[in-house]
Amino acid sequence: MVLRSLYISICLIFISACTSASNEIKSGPPETPEVLGENLFIMNCAACHGDDGKLGASGAKDLTKSRLKDHEIMKILKEGKNSMPSMKANLETKKNMDLVIAHIKKLRH
Ligand code: HEC
């Protein structure tokens, strides 16, 4: 009888350990601003600019060589330029635009 309740409590510990572990997986690692900026870039920009900013598809500029200031980049994101469409609908908020701008400036060299 003692053994049996011991067995049951061990099982319960296992079950609770497993459920809390799967909760962690569901919520995922905390998203840092850097990760958010990179994800936004990959989702909305990489098709033309490439993951590393160098692709240049459909006439896109090489972002590693770009030296535009933040407000100039912001204007392009909002209004688009030539074959680059406005990214306003994709990025939605100024905060997201700031995150993407911070990310593309890190691609520069
Ligand atoms: C449909 C393709 C396309 C997508 C998607 C796209 N771009 Fe562009 N991008 C271009 C093209 C083409 C140009 C060149 C515009 C020009 O000057 O003629 C450009 C230019 C730029 C420039 C100016 C670089 C310079 O120095 O002149 C920046 C900055 C830029 N894109 C950032 C982004 C960011 C950030 C995203 C995503 C939020 C993005 N682009 C999405 C095609 C694209």
pTM for the whole thing? 0.81
| pLDDT value at 4 more than 90 | no
Q: Residue 84 Cα, ligand 1 centroid: separation in angstroms?
A: 5
- Average pLDDT, integer, range 80-100: 97
Helix (H, G, I), strand (E, B) or coil at 84: strand
Which class is 33-107 in CATH?
A: mainly alpha
CA contacts within 13 A on the Cβ side of 21: 6
Q: Return the ligand 1 atom nearest residue 103 CA.
A: 35
Q: Which residues of 73-92 are buried (b: 16+ CB within 10 A; e: fewer)?
A: bbebbeeeeeebeebeeebe
Q: Residue 32 Cα, ligand 1 centroid: separation in angstroms?
A: 24
Write down the pLDDT at residue 28.
Answer: 73
Give the residue whose CA is nearest to atom 11 of ligand 1.
Answer: 60
On average, the pLDDT of the chain sits at 86
| pLDDT value at 15 more than 80 | no
**Short-list 73, 93, 71, 94, CA closest to 84:** 73
Q: Residue 103 Cα, ligand 1 centroid: separation in angstroms?
A: 14
Record the tokens describing residue 85, joined without a space: 């469409």
